[in-house]
Amino acid sequence: MEEKYTNRGLEIIVSTMNRNSLDFLIPMFPFSHFSNFSILIINQTNRDQILLSDYPSVRVINSFEKGLSKSRNLGIKNAIGKIVLIADDDVVFIENFQEKIIKAYNENQNATAICFQTLTKDGHFYSNYPKHQKELNNRKIRKVLSIELTCKLEDLRKHDCVFNELFGLGSKFQDSETFFFLKSIRHKKLRVIFYPFQIVIHEAFSSSDDAGSDRVIYARMAGYYKIHGIFSYLFLFKYMFFLFRKYNLPVSEIKKKFAIGLSGIYDYRLILNKKLDSRYE
């Protein structure tokens, strides 16, 4: 197959907050200066904390809105690369990550999104990844981290694939934004595949791993209702049993967590009733 994509066509969209210097990019690229890459920074900040760039390859948008999904969407709206790589400001890129991504797209030119692997700082895989390339279904995309995600920009814009701004850190429901983004891509009959290459290093813990926190319970139960409707109440019982087994929570704490889950379902149902979102994407 003829090679369609090159390193120059890859753009990294970095979400960050309250920056006034580009120095945070230095540890993200330990093998090369960051100006050697095409980068779009979305800096969610206030008017007293403005970020500027003197490098033509590094563009900056200072946004006065809050919310991770809003940051991602602003990046997608203003990106110029053929392929976009979603990134946070706490990742470390692995040398030759660009070549790995480009190779995957040249071998899979009909894929809209390709997901890769993350290594932890102690050199282990972040998750139990498949051993070989494969297409991801709705169950498998739940495990994808946003920092493992790349997409063809043309497909996203043509099919209006955006992050749901009700979900994600800083939003009403602070979890699951990557899952619903990928789910919307699959709902539009576009391909999401996994490719077994490591591209980033990250701490062995992410914000979505805190399964027992009030924030995650509230958001996930809202998300379960978005996916499963009335069956989300059954998932809530199963989730409480999971927390009881994994964290050995006392019954009094389980009752509190159950109430938080119910409120997540209730609040999302109100949003649906007001037609501010749709269960199906």
pLDDT at 78 over 70: yes
242 vs 237: CA distance, rounded Å: 9
* pLDDT for position 208: 58
How much of the chain exceeds pLDDT 70, in percent? 98
34 vs 29: CA distance, rounded Å: 6
User: SS3 of 78, please?
Assistant: helix
Residues 6+ apart with CB under 8 A from 153: 11, 76, 79, 81, 82, 83, 84
Summarize the confidence of residues 249-271 as an average pLDDT.
94
Q: Does residue 157 contact residue 185 with C-beta atoms inside 8 Å?
A: no
User: SS3 of 146, please?
Assistant: helix
pLDDT at 45 over 90: yes
* pLDDT for position 19: 97
Nearest 5 degrees, angle CA 112-CA 12-CA 196? 55
Residue matched to tokens 């805190």 = 210
Report residue 247's pLDDT band, with 50, 70 and 90 as the boundaries: confident
List the beta bridge partners of residue 267: none
Q: Does residue 17 contact residue 50 with C-beta atoms inside 8 Å?
A: no
Query: Do the bridges between strand 58-63 and strand 111-120 make them parallel or antiparallel, or are there none, so unpaired?
Result: unpaired
Summarize the confidence of residues 3-24 as an average pLDDT.
95
Summarize the confidence of residues 245-254 as an average pLDDT.
85
The torsion angle over the Cα atoms of residues 117, 78, 4 and 6, rounded to 10 degrees, is: -70
Helix axes 177-187, 214-228, angle to 10 degrees: 20
Q: What is the pLDDT of residues 118-163, one digit of tens each?
A: 999 999 999 999 999 999 999 999 999 999 999 999 999 999 999 9
251 vs 258: CA distance, rounded Å: 10
Report residue 246's pLDDT band, with 50, 70 and 90 as the boundaries: confident
- Longest distance between any two alpha carbons in the chain, whole Å: 62
User: SS3 of 15, please?
Assistant: strand
* pLDDT for position 41: 98
Q: What is the pLDDT of residues 80-130, one digit of tens each?
A: 999 999 999 999 999 999 999 999 999 999 999 999 999 999 999 999 999
Architecture of domain 7-206: Alpha-Beta Complex (3.90)
Least confident window among 15-24, 158-167, 169-178, 240-249: 240-249
pTM over 0.75: yes
79 vs 34: CA distance, rounded Å: 17
When computed from its CA atoms, the radius of gyration of the chain, rounded to whole angstroms, is 19
278 vs 104: CA distance, rounded Å: 33
* pLDDT for position 207: 61
* pLDDT for position 249: 81
* pLDDT for position 245: 87
Q: What is the pLDDT of residues 209-227, one digit of tens each?
A: 688 899 999 999 999 999 9
